[in-house]
Each structure stands twice: as C-alpha cells, then as structure tokens.
Chains A and B, each alone.
Chain A
Amino acid sequence: DAKTTQPNSMESNEEEPVHLPCNHSTISGTDYIHWYRQLPSQGPEYVIHGLTSNVNNRMASLAIAEDRKSSTLILHRATLRDAAVYYCILRDGAGGGADGLTFGKGTHLIIQP
C-alpha cells in the first residue's frame, strides 16, 4: 500500500486557518486521498476526499498538488472542537469498496484559545 507521511503534531490558534500537510510520494494513479479525524474519546470521523482536483465541503478544503505527491487539508477557521488527530489515508479506487482503512500516525492538532 502507498504510504503517507504527516507531521506528528501542529498547533494553531482558535479562529485562524490551519493547513495540515500530507506527503504521499508513492501514490498510484487510482489512489484517492481521504482524510479522517479522531476527536478525543470518539471514533474516527470522515472529513473529505479527492482524486486530482481541489475539493471543498462544509468541514474543510482539500488542496492536491499537481503531481499528486502531496496534499493539504485546510480548516478555514479552527475552533476548539477541531482539536483532534487528523489522518491522511490513500484508498485505491480500483479496489473493492469494502476495503479497510490503513491509519498511519496522523497529526495531532492542538488548538489554543
């Protein structure tokens, strides 16, 4: 499986934008880039996913590099409730839809009030 690399932790201030980077230099052409997050004492939660183009939803934006070897999850205005571990996960779009997620180390996002 193609691997992802994320910083262990990042710190930001409340109400400021946060950019969470992810490197995936061995990504294949059929790999989708997914982001999940896990808030303290909760199960993981889907955030966003994309293939080649940048994506926006109500939670975040995903910026994908032109060569697809890196991506950035953008939280436009972080709140204290965004403090969580953020996971960047590659999923093979050519594989079965029921494949499990491979969680790496993730980025522990700390939000300061």
Chain B
Amino acid sequence: AAGVIQSPRHLIKEKRETATLKCYPIPRHDTVYWYQQGPGQDPQFLISFYEKMQSDKGSIPDRFSAQQFSDYHSELNMSSLELGDSALYFCASSAAGTSGVADTQYFGPGTRLTVL
C-alpha cells in the first residue's frame, strides 16, 4: 500500500540558511500534520492542514511556515535556521474530514535535518 512520502530524507544546512521539507500524503488523504523530534526526545506536534486550510497549531516557531497545496502535498519552510532546529521532521496524513474518531495518522519515514 502507498505510504507517506517525505523528501529529502536527509538535509544538511548552515546556521541562518533556509530549508524546505516536502510531504506527499497517502492518496485520498485530505489532512497533513508536521512533527519535530529532537535527539532523544518525543515527537512534538507543529502544525496541521485540512483541505488546504490550517487546522491545528502546536509549538511551531515563528521562523517556520507551512502550507498545503491543491494536490494535498505539503511543504514546511524553515528560515534563519538555528543549531537547535537539528531534528527529525515527520509528516503524517489522515482522512480526517471533520470526524475526530476515524483520524488515524499515518507517518512518513521522516527528514533528518542537520544544522551546522
């Protein structure tokens, strides 16, 4: 079965540079979520989109922005990168609709961002 696709899988950037992470949800899924997982930490929710509109917001820094496009893929844009942004970034998708019950989230393999 098709899974969530994330690109790139690995990314190395310098401090103060920008980075763009991409996420392609499972076909027919209308909701995308972004999570950040620092070294030795648990995943932390950043932001979600349903039908191209921002739906829920977590602890996403102001330097980060995200959007969902008409084909439902999503991009996380990160500017003025800091050393502390080094982490695994997971994207998840679901066929959430407006129901809180059937919104099982399916996670991608993650993008490992290293900021030097």
Contact = CB atoms under 8 A, between A and B. Distances in A.
A101 B94 CA distance: 12
A35 to B, nearest CB: 11
B52 to A, nearest CB: 12
B49 to A, nearest CB: 7
Question: Majority SS of interface residues in chain A?
Answer: loop
A102 B45 contact: yes
Interface residues of B, number: 34
Interface in B95-112: 96-110
B81 interface: no
Contacts of A106: 42
A96 B92 contact: no
Contacts of A43: 4, 90, 92, 107-110
A103 B44 contact: yes
A44 to B, nearest CB: 5
Nearest to B104: A46
Contact of A93 (B45, B55, B100): B100
Interface of B: 4, 31, 33, 35, 42-50, 55-56, 58, 90, 92, 94, 96-110
Of all A-B residue pairs in the complex, the 8 with the closest CB atoms, nearest first, are A100-B45, A43-B107, A97-B96, A98-B55, A98-B50, A97-B103, A103-B42, A93-B100
Given A44-B92, A101-B33, 20 more contacts: A43-B90, A43-B109, A46-B106, A49-B104, A91-B100, A95-B100, A97-B96, A97-B98, A97-B101, A98-B31, A98-B33, A98-B48, A99-B48, A99-B100, A100-B33, A100-B46, A100-B47, A103-B45, A104-B42, A106-B42
